[in-house]
Chains A and B, each alone.
Chain A
Amino acid sequence: MLARLMEGCTSMSLGQMVLRLSIAFGLLMAILVGVGLGGLDRMSKMNLAIQNVTDTRWAKVKLAREALHYSTVNNRISMQVFLMPDREQTETVLEQRAQNTEKISRILDQIESQIESDAERESFSRIRAARVPYVNSYLSALDLLIKDTEPERAREVMVTTALPNLLTYHKAYEDFVAFQGAGVDEGGNAAEAYYYTARRGVIGLIAFAVVVAAAIAVFVIFRIAGEISNRERAEHDLRTAQEVLEVRVRERTADLEQAQARLTEASRQAGMAEVASGVLHNVGNVLNSVNVAASVIAEKLKSSKVSRLGKAVALLQDHQADLGNFVMSDPHGKQIPEYLTQLSTLLAAENEQMVGEVSLMFKSIDHIKEVIHSQQSLARVGLKPEPVNAPELVDEALRINLVSLERHGVEIVRQFKPCPVACAEKHRVLQILVNLVSNAKKAVMNEGVAQRRIVFSTSPFVIDGKLFISICVEDSGIGIATEDLSRIFQHGFTRSEGGHGFGLHAAAIDAGRMGGKLSVDSPGIGRGATFTLTIPAIERRSEVHT
């Protein structure tokens, strides 16, 4: 049963195993207690039996000794009888002796009724057998003394027959007592032998139980050791597997980080590409006007009517002699004033047009310079965080889109609160702001937007004891649906057709890198949107930058 209890230990849980082990040890303890109690019971019973044997034998010894005592008394009486001269007194003594003899007979009967074995009976019968000759020899001696009054013969019989018979008789008693003593010893020995047997039995049982317990213990220890080694192996395997997994996770994480870095770089480049293509678009348009203006001026100069003035002057010089007559009456000459008037009108117009084109050209060139300037500041990459002035950055970012913003009649509002100097990578902030401006422009340029207005504001604020600067770009454009607010910074999410969805994504990442944040808020579709860029400010106490 224990073995069955122990079966399948390896395949069960530790709790189950402990339960089964407890049951097994419980059973073992019960067996041990049972064996112990049984042994004790038997031993106490054995003690009682020994006690009984001793008691009955002792009683018989006592009876035998009592009988011997009376016999000894009687013998003394007998001796007295021989010495007594008074016969009357002899009668009294003999009377007492007869009583004693009677008592002895009763005692002997009592002993005989308690005889238990043949050996005992034999020993006892020797008492009776020895008694008869003694009593007979004594009585005959007495008869010789009293009846025959032959004291000499009586004394002779007494000495030669009665006394030896008495000795034999008493010897039989002694033998009987000795027999009983031997019996007691024998019983004790038997009991002791039995006791030892019983003790051996108990000890054997206990030893057996101990061996079984030891066997179980060894078995259990073996199983537990096996189980522990199994579990240790399993644990080791698990740990190994875990380590392998960890390594894989680390590798995969590293891969992912690299991929993310590549992606971030790609989006940043794409974001820059978007900015660059915007710049190209603007510059291209402005340059177109410059080119057209230049070619118009060139054409005007080439086909200038100034040469015609020279022609007219030459004609008048030809008719210098009769100039009045020529102008007044000559069919060609008459047309001269009209020709000159027309020519001067044209030349004035021509001049005006060229002045217009030149000023237009200068304006366009200024625009291009501004765009290029912004682009140059964007292109300065790899700069470390430096103290930057938020309002200045906003203005710089605005410049790149200013041409098209003005062209489309977008109202620009600047609300700059005095700001501490921020600490940031200038080109990154600029790139983010350029993106925000471009987005705001797209938002207000949408069809159905009544008021085209973008409000730029900067203000300092404190979070957790740290000073930050927030730059808000609030547009009155198409707004953002509430459900899109959370997706707006996601990679690939775009609101504009042809947009890449990189701009805001890269911007948000860059803002995070600078220890800042880019957030968005919009009351909903058609209700405008506010993008807020937060960048850390330089604390006043650490404002050691020059």
Chain B
Amino acid sequence: MKNVSSSVGPILIVDDNRDIHADFRKVLCTANKDEALLDELDASVFGGEAPQAKVDYVLDSAFQGAEAVELARRARAAGTPYTLAFIDMRMPPGWDGLRTMQELKKVDPNLQFVVCSAYSDYTQDQVCERLEIRDGILFIRKPFDPADVRQIAAKLALPRSAAA
């Protein structure tokens, strides 16, 4: 039971489209209490080990760039800074993705970005140049492959304390 709640570093989803937030939740928050209970019963009835509980992620949603910056500031103040942020590029009427990342960087310089957009007004190089990121930045195109998102999350969204 303890494992179920063991969540890794909170992830920030920044997208003006609510459906996308739902998509991220479906992909990254797969843990189910009932399922875990059944797994335990299963092990007890049929013998054998119950499978390792799935890693679950804490997701925060921001629908506008400014909102995202505010959430990041609060998370940092609360001692639980975001490790990873998925950023959409086109988010009318407010800031676009680039501006949002620039502002987020000011609030939390260690925050890692993954651009997740169907259409970008900027190329990958332009974004790196503007953000002064040397080793490139991850771009995933919508529609994304849920497996990619899980891999990225698993790779990048480690708790900072664990990573340190």
Residue among B16, B20, B95, B117 making CB contact with A289, cutoff 8 Å: B20
Closest to A292 in B: B23
Once the chains bind, are A346 and B90 in contact (CB under 8 Å)?
Answer: no
Complex Cα distance A332/B118, Å?
52
Which B residues between 81 and 108 are near A, CB-CB below 8 angstroms? 90, 92-96, 99
Q: At the interface, yes or no: A308 with Cβ under 8 Å from chain B?
A: yes
Which A residues between 291 and 330 are near B, CB-CB below 8 angstroms? 291-293, 295-296, 305, 308, 311-312, 315
- Quote the shortest CB–CB distance from A83 to chain B (angstroms): 170
Once the chains bind, are A281 and B118 in contact (CB under 8 Å)?
Answer: yes
Which A residues between 494 and 523 are near B, CB-CB below 8 angstroms? 496-498
Once the chains bind, are B45 and A284 in contact (CB under 8 Å)?
Answer: no
Once the chains bind, are B34 and A346 in contact (CB under 8 Å)?
Answer: yes
- Interface-lining segment among B2-10, B36-44, B71-79: B36-44
Which B residues between 41 and 64 are near A, CB-CB below 8 angstroms? 41-42, 44-46, 64
Q: What number of A-B contacts does a CB cutoff of 8 Å give?
A: 109
Once the chains bind, are A497 and B96 in contact (CB under 8 Å)?
Answer: yes
Q: At the interface, yes or no: A29 with Cβ under 8 Å from chain B?
A: no
Contacts of B42 in A (CB 8 A): 308, 339
Produce 1/0 per residue, B19-38, CB < 8 A to A.
11011001100000011011
Once the chains bind, are A315 and B143 in contact (CB under 8 Å)?
Answer: no
Once the chains bind, are A335 and B45 in contact (CB under 8 Å)?
Answer: yes
Contacts of B90 in A (CB 8 A): 281, 498
Contacts of A496 in B (CB 8 A): 92-93
Residue among B37, B64, B96, B143 making CB contact with A291, cutoff 8 Å: B143
Once the chains bind, are B41 and A291 in contact (CB under 8 Å)?
Answer: no
Q: At the interface, yes or no: A229 with Cβ under 8 Å from chain B?
A: no
Q: At the interface, yes or no: B135 with Cβ under 8 Å from chain A?
A: no
Complex Cα distance A338/B37, Å?
11
Q: At the interface, yes or no: A287 with Cβ under 8 Å from chain B?
A: yes
Complex Cα distance A277/B120, Å?
9
Contacts of B38 in A (CB 8 A): 305, 308, 339, 342-343, 346
Q: At the interface, yes or no: B142 with Cβ under 8 Å from chain A?
A: yes
Once the chains bind, are B46 and A311 in contact (CB under 8 Å)?
Answer: yes
Closest to B27 in A: A292
Contacts of B160 in A (CB 8 A): none
Once the chains bind, are A285 and B44 in contact (CB under 8 Å)?
Answer: no
Closest to B64 in A: A447
Q: At the interface, yes or no: B132 with Cβ under 8 Å from chain A?
A: no
Once the chains bind, are B17 and A283 in contact (CB under 8 Å)?
Answer: no
- Quote the shortest CB–CB distance from A481 to chain B (angstroms): 17
Complex Cα distance A253/B34, Å?
77
Contacts of B96 in A (CB 8 A): 497-498
Q: At the interface, yes or no: A288 with Cβ under 8 Å from chain B?
A: yes
Once the chains bind, are B45 and A280 in contact (CB under 8 Å)?
Answer: no
Once the chains bind, are A287 and B143 in contact (CB under 8 Å)?
Answer: yes
Which A residues between 431 and 487 are near B, CB-CB below 8 angstroms? 441-442, 445-447
Contacts of A190 in B (CB 8 A): none
Contacts of B117 in A (CB 8 A): 281, 284
Residue among B92, B119, B144, B146 making CB contact with A277, cutoff 8 Å: B119
Complex Cα distance A288/B64, Å?
19
Residue among B18, B27, B64, B143 making CB contact with A284, cutoff 8 Å: B143
Once the chains bind, are A296 and B17 in contact (CB under 8 Å)?
Answer: no
Complex Cα distance A288/B26, Å?
12
Q: At the interface, yes or no: A349 with Cβ under 8 Å from chain B?
A: yes
Residue among B26, B66, B121, B142 making CB contact with A285, cutoff 8 Å: B142
Which A residues between 44 and 77 are near B, CB-CB below 8 angstroms? none
Q: Which of B18, B46, B147 has the most chain A CB within a 10 Å cutoff?
A: B46
Q: At the interface, yes or no: A336 with Cβ under 8 Å from chain B?
A: yes
Once the chains bind, are B34 and A349 in contact (CB under 8 Å)?
Answer: yes
Residue among B45, B66, B144 making CB contact with A288, cutoff 8 Å: B144
Given known A296-B26, A315-B45, A342-B38, contact A284–B93 (CB-CB < 8 A) = no
Complex Cα distance A382/B53, Å?
60
Once the chains bind, are B45 and A336 in contact (CB under 8 Å)?
Answer: yes
Closest to B63 in A: A408
Once the chains bind, are B45 and A292 in contact (CB under 8 Å)?
Answer: no
Q: At the interface, yes or no: A172 with Cβ under 8 Å from chain B?
A: no
| The 6 A-B residue pairs with the shortest CB-CB distance in the complex, in nearest-first order | A284-B118, A287-B143, A292-B23, A291-B143, A288-B143, A445-B93
> Can you spell out 13 A-B residue pairs with CB atoms less than 8 angstroms apart?
A280-B119, A287-B118, A287-B143, A288-B19, A291-B144, A291-B146, A296-B146, A312-B45, A342-B34, A345-B34, A407-B19, A445-B93, A447-B66
**New contact pairs (10) apart from A339-B45, A407-B17, CB-CB < 8 Å:** A280-B118, A282-B118, A283-B118, A284-B119, A288-B118, A288-B143, A291-B146, A292-B143, A311-B46, A315-B45
B binding-site residues for A, Cβ under 8 Å: 16-20, 22-23, 26-27, 34-35, 37-38, 41-42, 44-46, 64, 66, 90, 92-96, 99, 117-119, 121, 141-147
